[in-house]
Chains A and B, each alone.
Chain A
Amino acid sequence: MVSTAVPAGGLIEGSAVLKSHLRRAERTRKLRAVGLVLPLFLFIMVSFIIPIGVMLFQSIYDPDIRTLMPNTAAALDTWDGADLPDETVFAALVQDLAAAQKEKKAALIGRRLNYEMSGLRSELVKSGKAAMTMTAGPYKDQMIAVAPIWGDRATWAVIKRAARTYTPYYYLSSFDFEYTADNDVVAVPEGQAVYKAVFVRTLGISLLVTALTLVLGFPVAYLLATQPPRIANLLLILVLLPFWTSLLVRTTAWVVLLQTQGPINDLLMLTGLVDERVQLIFTRFGTIAAMTHIQLPFTLLPIYSVMKTISPSHMRAARSLGANSFYAFARVYFPQTLPGVAAGCLLTFILCLGYYITPALVGGPTDQLISTYIALFTNSTVNWGMGSALGTILLASTLVLYFVYNRLVGIDRMRLT
């Protein structure tokens, strides 16, 4: 019916035909857009998305005990956990330990169990050797004689939990929770809790550094954007200069500056502001000073580039309409810089969350950020589970923050013209 109503040479507005024409016209544009982003998309897939997927998986995938102690794991499936397991479980244990010992894998079992109950590693090595020599049962008493841990119900609870292929253990640890012998989840005792404080510290320092870069960077960006080109270019080079040196060099420079015998302390002494040299390096102050310096251009440049696009005639118009300089700035200029402020702050904040080298070199030893721990687990102790869990939590909290922020500031809605 629609087509018969179409007058010659034209289409009826609002008709389905018109919509389909629009869709067809848009389709080629969309195809071209897809073609343009495809190479980058593939690259990101391989180098970013897939590794992140693997990381997510690693944080819950825990097959070690199930594969290294298959018999024990199977035997424990029916154990109710109320008492010590019976002889069949001990027989399976001896069989598994002997096999593992032969393949030199007893230490691996020890390492995994040690995460949850410290001291188990050495006991397992000892038990492994003993299991090789055992020929006949009953094994229960023999094993308890070799290592008293086998007489402890808690040891068996750890093994039964660790025998699950998928485990929430790493996430629980990351939030400072642990299991009791009765499989209840409880908070880690006050003195041993680590990660919650680390997360709070990481967020706090990132927020503070972001705020500092904004406070320091905004006026400079304004100056850059409003000066005549000759002066502005010179200033811009000064701002960009740190960008041309590597992060490591800049951090090392801060090490030199902040030392107890370094120039900042020299100056403080010389001017008589302090009586004795103050500890600047290896403190929270050192971390924040160095990070603020390094992050400054990241906050400043997006703000600057947005300010550049704000026509000076806007301020003039506001003034001629009766606004004093302050009011004009607050109502007309500042709101237009918000997309830049939002972009710059977000960039700095997210980069801060992942800071590693700088806090490691100039920060206090007990004042490290989350990345230090992730690096520790992946590089030194090879505890992929913990490293992945912490990394995933960092990623998730960054995403959550991004969405909350987006809700509040509306990066999507504001165009970066």
Chain B
Amino acid sequence: MANTAAEDAANAPYVRFTDVQKTYDGEKLVVRDLNLDIKKGEFLTMLGPSGSGKTTTLLMLAGFEVPTQGDIILGDQSLKNMPPHKRDIGMVFQNYALFPHMTVEENCAFPLDVRKVGKAEIQTRVKRALDMVQLGGYGKRRPGQLSGGQQQRVAVARALVFNPKLVLMDEPLGALDRQLREQMQLEIKHLHERLGITVVYVTHDQGEALTMSNRIAVFNDGEVQQLATPDTLYEEPQNSFVAQFIGENNKLRGTVRSLNGTICEVDVEGGGAVRALAVRIGGVGSATLLSLRPERVKINPPSGSVPNVFPAKVEELIYLGDHIRTRVSVCGHDDFVVKVPNAEGRVPFQPGSAITIGWKVEDCRALDVL
């Protein structure tokens, strides 16, 4: 069955980075060979450690930095040589960048003033935008008279009020405390869902990325390590960096002993052989890093239920309410963490207890060595 035209349009990239490179000093590539497609109406988050090139990528999109190579397309237009003010991209900055000498209303009216929108329409649109972020009564105040969270809302309203083609947000919640941050995350997410806007969001907080995004691009060292939906990213990390950057992760070093289709057998450094999914390894004999989520490890599994079973010694118990974080030593690694759900009341072991632990083949991924 042929795709309809509408489906084609929905799947066509709205923003496309093609082989984009960026260097500031002519020596180090801050962004290397970036190829990235963003769909219309998507909430895409760029997640990565500090200095990985997220802001640089965003600034190239907004037009404040020029790619040293490659091209960026927005809609059906190349952004090459297009100055920032012609791009029709709303941007929210980490420090809000509200104009201190203008009232909240004037701030929000600014993009409309620039576009020579009529007085009456400006008023209704500004009012609607402020109501949208629940700041209807604050129009006459100056930014200095608002709290951090309120300022951030004004910045969001200002970036949305002119119906931009694209909204960019660079760590907009970085300066807020945790509770407010979580509240704002949901507010922004709901705004996105309601208005159907396309958002490119930058953060280095993985919780934030998982909460808000349709897709997440994990950046490291100027490269996209993996671009996927939040659950795929968590469940199926494609390399060790992603596995360790997103969520908690147990690492076991080893060498590939045998390879059979998607399943491989790995000799762990401290002793023991593990059967794992071969995701990103070299041939037989190559080094690998096994990756295993702490909540996928079973304690004292019934015999025969899982293929990987090892004796372990409990080193430490940390009570965290909903689960008990248990550190054990296994296969010569003593930093192996198991999350034991707090469902059965008391756990049946103490530090020093000898137990067995086990896990399924598909929960253990053999990845590259960092």
Q: Which residues of A contact B (CB under 8 A)?
A: 311, 313-314, 316-324, 327-328, 331-332, 335-336
Contact = CB atoms under 8 A, between A and B. Distances in A.
19 contacts: A311-B95, A314-B97, A314-B99, A316-B62, A316-B64, A316-B84, A317-B98, A319-B83, A320-B62, A320-B64, A320-B84, A320-B87, A320-B159, A321-B90, A321-B91, A321-B111, A322-B88, A322-B162, A336-B100
B241 interface: no
Given A311-B97, A322-B115, A322-B162, A317 B85 contact: no
A331 B85 contact: no
Contacts of B87: 320
Interface in B79-138: 83-85, 87-91, 93, 95, 97-101, 110-111, 114-115
B91 A320 contact: yes
Given A320-B90, A322-B111, A332 B95 contact: no
Contact of A313 (B63, B88, B93): B93
A317 B64 CA distance: 10
Interface residues of B, number: 26
A332 B99 contact: yes
A311 B143 CA distance: 14
A322 B85 contact: yes
A319 B95 CA distance: 16
Contacts of B111: 321-322
Contacts of A319: 63-64, 83-85
A121 B61 CA distance: 87
Contacts of A313: 93, 95, 97
Nearest to B108: A321
A93 B97 CA distance: 82
Nearest to B89: A320
Contacts of A328: 85
Contacts of B110: 318, 321, 323, 331
Nearest to A338: B101
A322 B114 contact: yes
B63 to A, nearest CB: 8
Interface string B171-184: 00000000000000
A332 B99 CA distance: 7
Contacts of B95: 311, 313
Among A317, A328, A331, A332, chain B packs the most CB atoms within 10 A around the CB of A317
Interface of B: 62-64, 83-85, 87-91, 93, 95, 97-101, 110-111, 114-115, 158-159, 162, 168
Contact of A324 (B83, B98, B100): B83
Nearest to A317: B97
Given A316-B84, A322-B162, 15 more contacts: A311-B95, A313-B95, A316-B62, A317-B98, A318-B110, A320-B62, A320-B87, A320-B89, A320-B91, A321-B91, A321-B111, A322-B114, A335-B101, A336-B99, A336-B101
A63 B111 CA distance: 70
Nearest to A323: B114
A336 B114 CA distance: 18
A316 B100 contact: no
B155 to A, nearest CB: 8
Contacts of A316: 62, 64, 84, 91, 93, 97
Contacts of B115: 322
A335 B87 CA distance: 25
Among B98, B110, B115, B159, chain A packs the most CB atoms within 10 A around the CB of B110
Nearest to A309: B100
A141 to B, nearest CB: 81
Contacts of B162: 321-322
Which 7 residue pairs spanning A and B have beta carbons closest together? A317-B97, A321-B111, A313-B97, A320-B91, A322-B114, A319-B84, A313-B93
A332 B115 CA distance: 16
Contacts of A320: 62-64, 84-85, 87, 89-91, 159, 168
A318 B111 CA distance: 8
Contacts of A314: 97, 99
Nearest to B87: A320
A108 to B, nearest CB: 61
Contacts of B97: 311, 313-314, 316-317
Contacts of B85: 319-324, 328
Nearest to A327: B114
A209 to B, nearest CB: 28
Among B62, B91, B115, chain A packs the most CB atoms within 10 A around the CB of B91
A343 to B, nearest CB: 16
Contacts of B114: 321-323, 327
Nearest to B111: A321
Contacts of B88: 322
A320 B84 CA distance: 6
A319 B97 CA distance: 12
Contacts of A321: 85, 90-91, 110-111, 114, 158-159, 162
Nearest to A336: B101
A324 B85 CA distance: 6
B346 to A, nearest CB: 42
A323 B85 CA distance: 6
Nearest to A331: B110
Nearest to B161: A321
Contacts of B93: 313, 316-317
B101 A317 contact: no
B105 to A, nearest CB: 14
A43 B255 CA distance: 82
A322 B82 CA distance: 12
A278 to B, nearest CB: 46
Contacts of B168: 320
A231 to B, nearest CB: 16
Nearest to A320: B91
A321 B25 CA distance: 29
A319 B110 CA distance: 11
A321 B159 CA distance: 7
A311 B168 CA distance: 19
Nearest to A315: B97
Among A319, A322, A335, chain B packs the most CB atoms within 10 A around the CB of A322
Among A311, A318, A319, A320, chain B packs the most CB atoms within 10 A around the CB of A320
Contacts of B101: 335-336
